[in-house]
Structure 1
Amino acid sequence: MTETKALVSGAWVPQACTLPTTEQPLRLAEFDEMFASAVVGVQRVDRMRVRLELRPEPGAAGRAADLMVRETRCCSFFTFTLTATGGQLALEVAVPAEHVDVLDALAARAGGDRP
Structure 2
Amino acid sequence: MTWVPDACTLPTVDQPLRLAEFDDVFAESGRSVERSAETAVRVEFEPASTVAARLADLAMRESSCCSFFDFTLRMSDARLLLDVEVPAAHVPVLDALAARAAEAMAGERA
- For the criterion TM > 0.5, the same-fold answer is yes
1:49 alignment counterpart: 40
Provide the secondary structure at the position in 2 that maps to 1:15.
Answer: coil
What is the aligned counterpart of 1:32 among 11, 23, 30? Answer: 23
Q: Which has the higher strand share?
A: 1
1:78-108 alpha-carbon deviations (Å, 9 max, x no partner):
0000000011110000000000000000000
CA distance in 2: counterparts of 1:31 and 1:83, whole angstroms: 18
Superposed CA offset, 1:25-70 (max 9, x none):
1101101101101110011001000000010011110110000000
TM-score w.r.t. length of structure 2: 0.92
User: What percentage of aligned pairs have identical amino acids?
Assistant: 56
Structure 2 segments unaligned to the other structure (5+ residues): none
Q: Unmatched 5+ residue regions in structure 1?
A: 1-6
Show the counterpart of 1:23. Answer: 14
| 1:20 CA drift (Å) | 0.3
Corresponding residue number in structure 2 for 1:68: 59
| Consecutive aligned runs of 4 or more in structure 1 exceeding 6 Å deviation | none
- Counterpart AA for 2:47: P
In structure 2, the partner of 1:91 is 82
Q: Structure 1 or 2: larger helix share?
A: 2
Q: TM-score with structure 1 length normalisation?
A: 0.88
